[in-house]
């Protein structure tokens, strides 16, 4: 989306399992200006992650209230400037972070990512159906690792088939609206390699199958992009 000209910020809300700084290739650290935290930038995207505040590869061992406060700080104390899109990468499932995000950013839209596998689909379904209780909107479902294409062009359903559509259909039933399957990203070695190098495939290999699908999904999401400028995030203050 940033490559398509939108102003994008990313909050790595997977506090225990943070991986965004590596995958986006963020090398800088946040700096403090007055009362604000200035987020480092990578590929034109402003990024904040708890990984930038813990030395080395130390684990984050916090209970729910600490997670909530960290998320609140990422949203309230980070200087995001005028953004079109603020993406929050949530951990899998329906834990503390999902609840905090629902409380802190009630107007957020949800994108559900799953794999074709039954077991993953069921987890994703539960996570997505939180929206029924929080009144957040589910924008759609993305099926990752949808298939593997061999060099001879044959496709292999390594993780099975149909999980993405299944999640979209059942969330549609639960939420009483039509939920689209936004895209199907193939399993490709270069996705992993580019991520490990901090060069997202959508930027470095936008014509590969996975890269092109990600670019297509991004432009579809970007089309919805009304500017956040002047829009309240609807944050609720917490006492420190």
Ligand X SMILES: Nc1ncnc2c1ncn2[C@@H]1O[C@H](COP(=O)(O)OP(=O)(O)OP(=O)(O)O)[C@@H](O)[C@H]1O
Helices (H), the chain: 20-24, 64-76, 96-104, 118-134, 163-175, 189-197, 201-204, 209-223
Which of 7, 10, 14, 179 lies at the binding interface for ligand X (CB under 6 A)?
14
List 4, 73, 92, 134, residue binding ligand X (CB under 6 A): 92
Stretch that binds ligand X, among 28-36, 103-111, 167-175, 188-196 (CB under 6 A): 188-196
Site for ligand X in 32-71 (CB under 6 A): none
Which is nearer to ligand X, 37 or 50 (by Cβ)? 50
**Contact mark string toward ligand X, 149..178, x via CB under 6 A:** ------------------------------
| Span near ligand X by CB under 6 A; candidates 12-20, 69-77, 99-107, 225-233 | 12-20
**Shortest distance (Å) from residue 98 CB to ligand X:** 12
Contacts of 207 (CB under 8 A, 6+ apart): none
Q: What is the DSSP letter of 51?
A: G
Cβ-based nearer residue to ligand X, 38 or 210:
210
Burial of 23 (0-12, 13-18, 19+ CB in 10 A): buried
Pick between residue 38 and residue 47 the one whose CB is nearest to ligand X.
47
| Residue 14 or 84 having the CB closest to ligand X | 14
Which residue bears the tokens 């996975």?
210
Which of 89, 86, 93, 90 shows the shortest CA–CA distance to 107?
A: 86
Element (H, E) at 182: strand 181-185
Give percent helix, percent strand, percent coil of the chain, each to the nearest 5.
Answer: 35, 20, 45
**Shortest approach of ligand X to residue 190 CB, angstroms?**
8
Using CB under 6 A as the binding rule, whether residue 206 contacts ligand X is answered as no
Question: What is the C-alpha end-to-end distance of the chain, expressed in Å?
Answer: 35
Give just the sign of the alpha carbon dihedral 201, 205, 211, 214.
Answer: positive
Q: Of the listed pieces 1-9, 37-45, 54-62, 190-198, which binds ligand X according to CB under 6 A?
A: 190-198
Chain residues binding ligand X by CB under 6 A are: 14, 17, 19, 91-92, 113, 144-145, 185, 187-188, 191-192, 195, 210
């Amino acid at each position: 989306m940033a490559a398509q000209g939108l102003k994008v910020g990313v909050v790595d809300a997977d506090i225990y399992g943070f991986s965004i700084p590596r995958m986006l290739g963020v090398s800088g650290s946040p700096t403090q200006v007055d009362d604000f935290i200035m987020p480092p930038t990578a590929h034109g995207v402003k990024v904040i992650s708890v990984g930038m505040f813990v030395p080395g590869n130390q684990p984050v061992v916090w209970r729910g209230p600490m997670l909530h406060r960290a998320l609140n700080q990422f949203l309230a104390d980070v200087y995001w400037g005028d953004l079109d899109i603020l993406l929050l990468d949530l951990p899998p499932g329906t834990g503390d972070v999902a609840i905090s995000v629902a409380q802190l950013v009630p107007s957020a839209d949800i994108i559900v990512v799953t794999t074709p596998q039954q077991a993953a689909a069921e987890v994703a379904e539960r996570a997505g159906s939180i929206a029924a209780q929080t009144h957040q909107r589910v924008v759609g479902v993305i099926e990752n690792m949808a298939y593997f294409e061999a060099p001879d062009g044959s496709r292999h359903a390594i993780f099975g088939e149909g999980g993405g559509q299944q999640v979209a259909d059942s969330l549609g039933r639960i939420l009483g609206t039509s939920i689209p399957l936004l895209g199907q990203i193939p399993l490709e070695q270069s996705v992993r390699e580019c991520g490990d190098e901090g060069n997202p495939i959508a930027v470095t290999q936008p014509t590969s199958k996975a890269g092109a699908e990600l670019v297509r999904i991004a432009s579809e999401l970007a089309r919805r992009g009304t500017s956040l400028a002047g829009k309240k995030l609807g944050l609720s203050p917490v006492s420190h």
